[in-house]
C-alpha cells in the first residue's frame, strides 16, 4: 500500500498567517493526490483534486502543488473558519489511502 505521511501533525497559527501543509507519498504517484478539510463533527469536504486543481465553491485562498512524492496544500491568509483537520488521499493505486491528517489550530 502507498503510505502518505502528513506533516506537521499539528500547526498552530494566528488568523492572517499563510501556511503550507505537507503530504509525502512512499512512492511516486504523479499528481494523484486530493485534499480534504474536516471540521469538528462534520463530514470531510473536498478542497483540491489532482494535486492542484481547484474545486467549485472552495475559497481561492486554498491551493495545491506538487507531483511525484511531495505535495503541498497552501492556505493564503488563514481565516477563523479554516481551523480544521486536513487530509490528503491518493488514488494512484489500490487500495486508495489517506494520510493521518494535519490539525490546523489557533495559536
The span from the CA of 92 to the CA of 105, in Å, is: 30
Distance separating alpha carbons of residues 24 and 45, to the nearest angstrom: 20
Quick check: helix, strand or coil at residue 80?
helix
Q: HSE on the CB side for 59, CA within 13 Å?
A: 11
Among 22, 54, 65, 98, binds another protein (CB under 8 A): 98
**Residue of 50, 61, 70, 79 interacting with another protein (CB under 8 A):** 50
How many Å apart are CA 86 and CA 9, to the nearest integer? 10
Least Cβ distance, residue 39 to another protein (angstroms): 12
Question: Least Å distance between CB 17 and another protein?
Answer: 24
Total residues contacting another protein (rule CB under 8 A)? 24
The residue ranges that bind another protein (CB under 8 A) are 1, 32, 34, 36, 38, 43-46, 49-50, 55, 85, 87, 89, 91, 94-101
Amino acid at each position: 500500500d502507498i503510505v502518505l505521511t502528513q506533516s506537521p501533525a499539528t500547526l498552530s497559527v494566528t488568523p492572517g498567517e499563510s501556511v503550507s501543509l505537507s503530504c509525502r507519498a512512499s512512492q511516486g504517484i504523479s499528481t494523484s493526490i486530493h485534499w480534504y478539510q474536516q471540521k469538528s463533527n462534520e463530514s470531510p469536504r473536498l478542497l483540491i483534486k489532482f494535486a492542484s486543481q481547484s474545486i467549485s465553491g472552495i475559497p481561492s485562498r486554498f491551493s495545491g502543488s506538487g507531483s511525484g512524492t511531495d505535495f503541498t496544500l497552501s492556505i493564503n491568509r488563514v481565516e477563523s473558519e479554516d481551523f480544521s483537520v486536513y487530509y490528503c488521499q491518493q488514488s494512484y493505486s489500490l487500495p486508495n489511502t489517506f494520510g493521518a491528517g494535519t490539525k490546523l489550530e489557533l495559536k
